[in-house]
Amino acid sequence: MKYYQQAFIREMKNRNYSRNTIRIYSMHLRDFLRFGSETSFEPEVRISVFLEEKKSTAEQKRLAWSAIKLFYRLILLKKCPYELDKIRSRKRLPDILSNEEVLELLKCISNTKHRLMISMLYGSGLRVSEVCGLKIKDLDFVNLKLKVRNSKGNKDRVTLLSEKCISDLMHVIRDRNADDFIFVTQVQKKYSIRTVQKIFSNALLSSKLHKSSSCHTLRHCFATHLVESGTNIKTVKELLGHQSIKTTMVYIKLADSVSRKIKSPL
């Protein structure tokens, strides 16, 4: 089992899969191999039962299926014996915080560097992994732009940089090199995703906002508030780095109807 796990990780690295994809796929493969060692099903049935018993969201189940299929192709060098055309998911709209609620949450973070990281999740529409991976050379203070490198799908993109973040950013990066990570701990290591998530959850508790929110909620807020302010949906798609416009269209549904000048007929 260990051999398969190591070989799978090695082959994904050789094909330049993103660090996050390698982590997620290897986790799902580990679970699948462990499940297989405890059962005597035929391969096709084994995959079907594993996915059926996996207590997870439709997205997690889809990722597990993708990992197994890739494992068959890269390591076992044959076609996966189980076909799964589509995994139906419940259409849930993410919770959105208003601009005032986001600002209220930020006020609950006393540490300047911590507050700046959370601010950039919202102000630039970043994923947590992206804010952790930002380097000083990615900042463009003149044009208020931010380059996001090796994002989801191993793609680079350019997004917005809030003018309100510049002063704190200048303080954080003072006398440091362009290739340094913007956000580093006291021992000069870049912040982990889990640490940033903990900063957010602590701020949420202190804010007394009774909403189910996470770091990723701020990315949804970034997109929704841009749509509410009249930003073209194609522009929002590019800023978020979505591959398909269909993914971005959800923010039209989330946008406040009043801001989009839709009035009640009464």
d(CA 213, CA 187): 30
Q: Nearest-5° angle of CA 189, CA 192, CA 197?
A: 145
54 labelled catalytic: no
Among 127, 157, 220, 225, the one annotated catalytic: 127
Strands (E), 81-240: 139-140, 145-148, 157-160
Structural contact between residues 11 and 74, judged by C-beta atoms closer than 8 angstroms: yes
171 labelled catalytic: no
Strand partners, 190: 184
225 labelled catalytic: no
242 labelled catalytic: yes
Q: Give the contacts of 84 (CB within 8 A, at least 6 positions apart).
A: 51, 65
Q: What is the CA radius of gyration of the chain?
A: 21
28 labelled catalytic: no
d(CA 49, CA 54): 8
Structural contact between residues 203 and 105, judged by C-beta atoms closer than 8 angstroms: yes
Q: Give the contacts of 211 (CB within 8 A, at least 6 positions apart).
A: 95, 97, 101
Among 219, 220, 225, 237, the one annotated catalytic: 219
Helix (H, G, I), strand (E, B) or coil at 175: coil
Q: What are phi and psi of 202, to 5 degrees?
A: -65, -40
Strand partners, 159: 146
Indicate which residues carry an active-site annotation.
Answer: 127, 152, 216, 219, 242, 251
